[in-house]
Amino acid sequence: MKNNVPAFLLSRPSYEPRNFDKGRLKTSFIEKGIHHAAQIIQTGYVNWETASKDDFFQGIDARVKVIFLLFYIIIVSLKNDLISEVLIGVFVFILSIVASLNIFSFYKRVIFFSFIFGFLAAAPSALNIITKGHIILPLFHLSSAHHLWIYQIPQEIGLTKEGIYGVSMLTLRCMNSLSISLFVLNTTTFPDIIKALKAMLVTDAFLMVITLSYKYIFIFAKIVEDMHLAKKSRLVGQMSAVDGRRWAAGRIAFMFKKTTLRCEEIMKAMLSRGFSDNIKIYGARKLCLKDWTSGAILLLIGMIFLYI
């Protein structure tokens, strides 16, 4: 997939290791701040770029995709067997190929989050201390079983078949939910998602808050990145942890002041453009045959997943 995102947005800043030498620290927290801000801006650009392409899924009405998202995420949360979860995963993989997404970067993100939130968080439950069952991989053998208050530690500690099944289920569920939501996000622009939510009777006031907030997160993320870069460029060597804390607190307070000032400017701009208490977000276009057909197919496949 051709990428039009400028290279400077995709390159990661250099990462400096921390040094705890005598209460002084290197500036890794500044690097982390730059990285965090850059990542948010990059995510926004990449999503916008893939969602704006002229491909099959990008052309489907956002309402169909938002209903698809909610329906399939509920299916994923209701299914309790590995085969169904694997089949849903394969289906989303096929959809992402059809949608011409960059499979490598798409699944890199999905697998990274699923590994942390799905696998790592659930992994200890595979042990027979948490999930009782048939041990298929013994890890430790204690001299005797122990009883500590309400906790029981068996003589043999190992991974159980039931535990591994549970961890696999959670990891797959997490992976499927993430891939479905990222798939919709990569094929639908944010304003279209908002219009689709309006069609689902979410109040205009709430949608307007979300829309404005979303836009200003990117603007302020750039300001945060610039502040960190400015600090980094003025630093030679190390700074004390106390100075680091003061600097970060001062910058957050500065951001607060800036957001409140911007709020007044926006209010004036909105009033000058005729904004009144009656908030109106214009609805989406009429659904065409392509939308109805793809919606019906996705619904049918979803029903099959639900009943297998």
Site for another protein in 92-121 (CB under 8 A): 109, 113, 117-118, 121
Stretch that binds another protein, among 56-64, 125-133, 284-292, 294-302 (CB under 8 A): 125-133
Stretch that binds another protein, among 74-82, 87-95, 135-143, 295-303 (CB under 8 A): 74-82
Instruction: State the nearest-atom distance from the C-beta of 206 to another protein, in Å.
Output: 7
Stretch that binds another protein, among 41-49, 94-102, 137-145, 300-308 (CB under 8 A): 41-49
The strand pairing partners of 157, in sequence order, are: 140
Contact 211, 195 (CB under 8 A): no
Contact code string over 138-177 relative to another protein, x by CB under 8 A: ------------xx----------xx-xxx-xx--xx--x
Please identify, using beta-carbon distances, which residue of 98 and 116 lies nearer to another protein: 116
Characterize 123-150 residue by residue with b for buried, 16 or more Cβ atoms within 10 angstroms of its Cβ, and e for exposed: bebbbbbebeeebeeeeeeeeeeeeeee
Contact 4, 48 (CB under 8 A): no
Instruction: State the nearest-atom distance from the C-beta of 144 to another protein, in Å.
Output: 21
Going by C-alpha positions, the residue among 185, 186, 187, 208 that lies closest to residue 282 is 208
* Strands (E) located in 146-292: 146-148, 151-153, 156-160, 239-240
Residue 71: exposed, middle, or buried by beta-carbon count in 10 A (0-12, 13-18, 19+)?
middle
> For tokens 């590995």, what's the residue?
82
Instruction: State the nearest-atom distance from the C-beta of 45 to another protein, in Å.
Output: 12
Q: Which of 270, 284, 287, 299 binds another protein (CB under 8 A)?
A: 270
CA pair distance 203, 170, nearest whole angstrom: 33
* C-alpha to C-alpha distances, 95 to 43, 56, 114, nearest whole angstrom: 21, 10, 19
CA pair distance 292, 58, nearest whole angstrom: 15
Q: Which of 37, 101, 159, 164 binds another protein (CB under 8 A)?
A: 37
Please identify, using beta-carbon distances, which residue of 146 and 290 lies nearer to another protein: 146
Please identify, using beta-carbon distances, which residue of 101 and 224 lies nearer to another protein: 224
Contact code string over 222-261 relative to another protein, x by CB under 8 A: --x----------------x--xxx-xxxxxx-xxx-xx-
Contact code string over 182-221 relative to another protein, x by CB under 8 A: x--x----x--x---------x-xx-xxxxxxx-xx--xx
